């Protein structure tokens, strides 16, 4: 496993939905933000299908999830949040969607790019697969001048691409000092408590369910650190661009 990267001056994390980035690399982003890194988060979809309740109003859910994501980004370290505004559940790997990635990379000019691993086997959610391909394909396009010249700004090549939810991780970032921040940020995604975190708001077991969720995130972080010198970490596939 590679050791921690040197603290980057700027980083851009790309996620399919609100809360994906926090799950995949929230501890790493919090650590870098605390060290002075300029952290940006690009959410590709509007989160409009992120509920188990058929009576929920999608437009109200979009607003709610934006508010939750903004609060979570603040907790991580005043990270700057960006929205592509694509429809939840309908991502694909078209040139029009790739342009969002190219524009963000050329505008923000991150040293490190983070996103879903598109090579993850047996991944069920199509948005995660497509978000991964858009990130990888967008990174290639953003570095070459004849791709998307209409976007403006000069081409940019990040130094590293870190893929979270990695099928074959080969790099671990320590989150010994930022695991609690990651958990705190995730819990601001209150609309996802029941479906994603197993928390039934207002129930007599709510406190215990919060503890169980924190324990689950901690166990995942401990598993990610196996083979490294860290107690807890986040695992990635590291590619050099």
Percentage, residues of the chain above pLDDT 70:
99
The domain covering 10-240 belongs, at the CATH homologous superfamily level, to LmbE-like (3.40.50.10320)
Q: Taking the chain, what is the end-to-end CA distance rounded to the nearest angstrom?
A: 18
Q: 3-class DSSP state for residue 87?
A: coil
- Read off the pLDDT of residues 139-150 as tens digits, 9 standing for 90 and up: 999 999 999 999
- Read off the pLDDT of residues 165-178 as tens digits, 9 standing for 90 and up: 999 999 999 999 99
Separation of CA 216 from chain center: 18
Residues 6 or more apart in contact with residue 160 via CB below 8 angstroms: 5, 8, 111, 112, 113, 238, 239, 240, 241
How far is it, in rounded angstroms, from Cα 238 to Cα 168? 10
Q: How confident is the model at residue 1 (pLDDT cuts 50, 70, 90)?
A: low
pLDDT at 240 > cutoff 90:
no
What pTM was estimated for this model as a whole?
Answer: 0.96
């Amino acid at each position: 496993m590679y050791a921690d990267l040197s603290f980057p001056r700027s980083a851009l994390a790309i996620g399919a939905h609100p809360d994906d980035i926090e799950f995949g690399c929230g501890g790493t982003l919090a650590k870098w933000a605390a060290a002075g890194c300029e952290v940006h988060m690009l959410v590709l979809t509007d989160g409009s299908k992120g509920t188990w309740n058929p009576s929920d109003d999608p437009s109200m859910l979009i607003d709610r999830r934006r508010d939750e994501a903004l609060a979570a980004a603040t907790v991580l370290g005043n990270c700057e949040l960006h929205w592509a505004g694509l429809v939840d559940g309908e991502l694909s790997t078209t040139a029009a969607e790739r342009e969002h990635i190219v524009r963000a990379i050329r505008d923000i000019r991150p040293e490190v790019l983070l996103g879903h691993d598109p090579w993850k086997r047996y991944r069920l959610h199509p948005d995660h697969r497509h978000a991964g391909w858009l990130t990888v394909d967008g990174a290639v396009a953003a570095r070459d001048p004849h791709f998307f010249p209409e976007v403006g700004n000069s081409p940019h090549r990040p130094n590293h691409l870190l893929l979270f939810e990695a099928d074959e991780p080969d790099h671990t970032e320590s989150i010994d000092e930022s695991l609690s921040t990651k958990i705190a940020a995730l819990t601001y995604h209150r609309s996802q408590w029941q479906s994603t975190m197993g928390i039934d708001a207002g129930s007599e077991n709510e406190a215990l369910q919060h503890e169980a969720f924190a324990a689950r995130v901690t166990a995942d972080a401990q598993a990610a650190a196996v083979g490294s010198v860290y107690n807890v970490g986040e695992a990635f596939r590291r590619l050099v661009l």
